[in-house]
Chains A and B, each alone.
Chain A
Amino acid sequence: MIAFIVRRLLQSIVVMLVVALLAFSMFRYIGDPINQMVGVETSSEERAELRERLGLNDPMLVQFGRFAADAARFDFGVSYQHKKPVSELFADRLPATLELAFLSAVFALACGIPMGVYTALRRDAWLSKVFLTVSLIGISLPTFLIGILLIFVFSVWLGWLPSFGRGETVDLGVWTTGLLTVSGWKAALMPSITLGLFQMTLIMRLVRSEMLEVLRTDYIKFARARGLSDRAVHFGHALKNTLVPVITITGLQLGSIIAFAIITETVFQWPGMGLLFLQAIQNVDIPIMAAYLILIAFFFVLINLIVDLLYYAVDPRLRVDRATSAGH
């Protein structure tokens, strides 16, 4: 168990270093950082001096080491466009994106799993057919279109929900949350559904196909032959086995929710990291881009790690240590 965690942690660190290298090369090769920082009237002596002071003349490895060490403390320097420390900018934006992603994930799981189970168990019910049809639409419509449709119906037409922003937020010191006010919830509703819809349909279809697969296995047949109730067979035996593979895919999906938030944040003008990142691209604001890249990678790695640990908790076969499993 410990060995497993250590191994996974080491792998995670390697992945993060590779991503950091990518981010680092952005600094080096996209534009000249000095040009970004100073005006046109700066003399070449002053530029050379700045270059020396920023350590841009040091060996590459030293520079990278410095960059990685700073990145680990989430220090990416000062944004070119905002003239403020990047970490400060993200401190405002990160909670917005994470709350949006969290709500979307909860929505995707809370609807996707029961719908998947239902469509697998009641294959011929009309409601199952409705779910499957709706899920096809959910998969084929692009996110921004769904967002615009929702805005059209609920903001423009019915006037029930705000079409942009995050509503009122409450500052909890390190974290500003929109989940403590009614207007915050109202503002979050459409963006989270828009962002979660694709994952929801994906999870539903995955749960459905896995569940159908599991229902065909011998141990389900034997469970029925032992006279267990349908409830015990479906939810005690079939669902638990279904969730083993579902956990992996779902974990990866949650990572991509955070990444895909860019589009939704743009449609709903949600003040998150995605929006910040898009503006940064337009202005070639390398520190923000680098920080975004590293943060997203960090969440992917973190979620992967959690998924692996969950796997471990759910599936006893993984808990056998190598020695005994080899003896079989």
Chain B
Amino acid sequence: MARPVLQVDNLTVEFPTRRGTLRAVDDISFRIDAGEVLGVVGESGAGKSMTGTAVIGLLEPPGRISGGRVQLEGARIDHLPHDQMRRLRGQRIGMIFQDPLTSLNPLYTIGFHLTETIRTHTDRGEAEARARAIELLTEVGIPAPAQRIDQYPHHFSGGMRQRVVIALALCAEPRLVIADEPTTALDVSIQAQIIQLLKRLCREHGTSVLLITHDMGVIAETADRVAVMYAGRIVEVGPVREVVQNAKHPYTEGLMDAIPKIGGRTEDLAQIRGTMPRLSQIPAGCAFHPRCPRAFDRCRQERPELLDAGASRAACWLHAGEPAGAGTGRGGGERG
């Protein structure tokens, strides 16, 4: 099997607090292959952003990676010295945040943002960097880039700013882009355009994507595979079609039922009764059991690991019966 671009094994992220240590990400493993888009979904607080932030090495202290490994193209990156990790950011892993309105420094022009990033990662001079910046702006669909390059962020609309942010994240042609809810803050009418742009650019450049979102519609349209997170863990992972149409985990089923149709949003998860537990009060056994309509005794005592379930893997005792290794295709490779 080809070397994955990103491989995460048993990653755990913890926050020491006065009332004990909180585990925001609990022993998760996944991989992303070259050119692949992995969608990550789950309710607010599930640990999606923490996972992305941990991968790119930007956890805010006291949060820290307390266990597991992160490998980028076969080399471990979770223990790199500060300066090496910094060089890797932007260069080999790019990141796009949710709110384009606050992602750019209001005191600098778009051109300044672009040239400083280009010059950090290449040995281009100022003039060359500027020429490249104009190219990039053209590529992300900013009209009249030669004029707009000298304008400030407040001259741009939200959608245009997110295009600039995408140009910034992709300007050193990274192998992997982590997009944390890249369209949530935007007008609905613009969301599809931005997702299309991201998808096209990544396909053209062969960039892999870790796409964090609430929007199952976006996932269905964009992702190759999906990981569903609940209370800091991955509860189901598999090919997108399989997860969307044939969910194996009761939580994923609930998520899918909550969508009126593909393309709708999952903001309203009222159909799963209750709310996700706080990190300090995660129940024993399966973390989902207080809300699960199909919970049985074993669920309250033992915590399920990811088990093979058809083409996917699901952390649910309902799938305990299937013989180990029965899963075929990608699902079985999660640990590889």
Are the CB atoms of A317 and B106 closer together than 8 Å? yes
Is B90 an interface residue when CB atoms closer than 8 A count as contact? yes
When distances are taken between beta carbons in the complex, the residues of chain B under 8 Å from A324 are 155
Interchain nearest-CB distance for A210 vs B (Å): 14
Is A316 an interface residue when CB atoms closer than 8 A count as contact? yes
Which listed segment binds A: B115-123, B289-297, B310-318? B115-123
Are the CB atoms of A218 and B89 closer together than 8 Å? no
When distances are taken between beta carbons in the complex, the residues of chain A under 8 Å from B94 are 225-226
Closest to B88 in A: A227
When distances are taken between beta carbons in the complex, the residues of chain A under 8 Å from B157 are 328
Interface residues of B in 155-186 (CB under 8 A from A): 155, 157, 165, 168-169, 172
Which of B58, B116, B165 is the one whose CB lies under 8 Å from A224?
B58
Closest to B152 in A: A316
Are the CB atoms of A237 and B58 closer together than 8 Å? no
Instruction: Tell me the complex Cα distance, A73–B112, Å.
Output: 48
Is A221 an interface residue when CB atoms closer than 8 A count as contact? yes
Interchain nearest-CB distance for A170 vs B (Å): 42
When distances are taken between beta carbons in the complex, the residues of chain B under 8 Å from A219 are 102-106
Is A256 an interface residue when CB atoms closer than 8 A count as contact? no
Interchain nearest-CB distance for A165 vs B (Å): 45
When distances are taken between beta carbons in the complex, the residues of chain B under 8 Å from A325 are 154
Interchain nearest-CB distance for A102 vs B (Å): 28
Is A114 an interface residue when CB atoms closer than 8 A count as contact? no
**Known contacts A219-B103, A316-B107; A225/B58 CB under 8 A:** yes
Are the CB atoms of B107 and A240 closer together than 8 Å? yes
Which of A221, A227, A237, A314 is the one whose CB lies under 8 Å from B86?
A227
Interchain nearest-CB distance for B281 vs A (Å): 27
Is B30 an interface residue when CB atoms closer than 8 A count as contact? no
When distances are taken between beta carbons in the complex, the residues of chain A under 8 Å from B102 are 217-219
- Interface flags for A253-277 (1: CB within 8 Å of B; 0: not) read 0000000000000000000000000
Instruction: Tell me the complex Cα distance, A240–B107, Å.
Output: 8
When distances are taken between beta carbons in the complex, the residues of chain B under 8 Å from A18 are none
Which listed segment binds B: A36-44, A177-185, A228-236? A228-236
Is B87 an interface residue when CB atoms closer than 8 A count as contact? yes
- Interface flags for B96-116 (1: CB within 8 Å of A; 0: not) read 010100111111110000001
Is A303 an interface residue when CB atoms closer than 8 A count as contact? no
When distances are taken between beta carbons in the complex, the residues of chain B under 8 Å from A229 are 86, 120
Which of A221, A225, A228 is the one whose CB lies under 8 Å from B116?
A228
Are the CB atoms of A225 and B56 closer together than 8 Å? yes
Which of B99, B107, B172 is the one whose CB lies under 8 Å from A315?
B107
Closest to A319 in B: B152
Interchain nearest-CB distance for B80 vs A (Å): 13
Are the CB atoms of B169 and A221 closer together than 8 Å? no
Chain A contributes a number of interface residues (CB within 8 A of B) equal to 27
Are the CB atoms of A226 and B117 closer together than 8 Å? yes
Instruction: Tell me the complex Cα distance, A302–B116, Å.
Output: 37
When distances are taken between beta carbons in the complex, the residues of chain A under 8 Å from B154 are 316-317, 320, 325, 328
Instruction: Tell me the complex Cα distance, A233–B105, Å.
Output: 11
Are the CB atoms of B121 and A227 closer together than 8 Å? yes
Instruction: Tell me the complex Cα distance, A79–B154, Å.
Output: 56
Is A209 an interface residue when CB atoms closer than 8 A count as contact? no
**Known contacts A225-B56, A226-B117; A218/B97 CB under 8 A:** yes
Interface residues of B in 57-73 (CB under 8 A from A): 58
Instruction: Tell me the complex Cα distance, A316–B58, Å.
Output: 29
Interchain nearest-CB distance for A227 vs B (Å): 3
- Interface flags for B115-147 (1: CB within 8 Å of A; 0: not) read 011001100000000000000000000000000
Are the CB atoms of B104 and A316 closer together than 8 Å? no
Are the CB atoms of A221 and B107 closer together than 8 Å? no
Most chain B C-beta atoms within 10 Å of own C-beta, residue among A222, A232, A240, A316: A222
Interchain nearest-CB distance for B184 vs A (Å): 13
Are the CB atoms of A237 and B90 closer together than 8 Å? no
When distances are taken between beta carbons in the complex, the residues of chain A under 8 Å from B24 are none
Instruction: Tell me the complex Cα distance, A225–B172, Å.
Output: 12
Is B213 an interface residue when CB atoms closer than 8 A count as contact? no
Is A241 an interface residue when CB atoms closer than 8 A count as contact? yes
Are the CB atoms of B107 and A241 closer together than 8 Å? yes
Instruction: Tell me the complex Cα distance, A219–B165, Å.
Output: 10
Instruction: Tell me the complex Cα distance, A225–B107, Å.
Output: 18
- Interface flags for A232-252 (1: CB within 8 Å of B; 0: not) read 100011001100100000000
Closest to B91 in A: A227
Which of A227, A232, A315, A316 is the one whose CB lies under 8 Å from B89?
A227
Are the CB atoms of A218 and B117 closer together than 8 Å? no
**Known contacts A221-B97, A232-B116, A232-B120; A226/B89 CB under 8 A:** yes
**Known contacts A227-B90, A227-B121, A228-B117; A222/B104 CB under 8 A:** yes
Interchain nearest-CB distance for B98 vs A (Å): 8
Instruction: Tell me the complex Cα distance, A129–B91, Å.
Output: 37
Are the CB atoms of A226 and B90 closer together than 8 Å? yes
Which of B87, B99, B103, B155 is the one whose CB lies under 8 Å from A227?
B87
Task: Taking A222-B165, A225-B94 as given, write out 15 further A-B residue pairs in contact, using a Cβ cutoff of 8 Å, ordered by the A residue number.
Answer: A219-B105, A221-B58, A221-B97, A224-B58, A225-B95, A226-B89, A226-B169, A227-B117, A228-B90, A229-B120, A232-B116, A236-B116, A237-B108, A240-B107, A316-B154
Measured CB to CB, the residues of B under 8 A from A are 56, 58, 86-91, 94-95, 97, 99, 102-109, 116-117, 120-121, 152, 154-155, 157, 165, 168-169, 172
Q: List 26 A-B contacts (CB under 8 A).
A: A218-B99, A218-B103, A219-B102, A219-B105, A221-B97, A222-B95, A222-B97, A222-B104, A222-B168, A224-B86, A224-B89, A225-B58, A225-B94, A225-B169, A227-B88, A227-B121, A228-B86, A228-B116, A230-B86, A237-B105, A241-B106, A314-B107, A315-B106, A316-B107, A316-B109, A320-B154
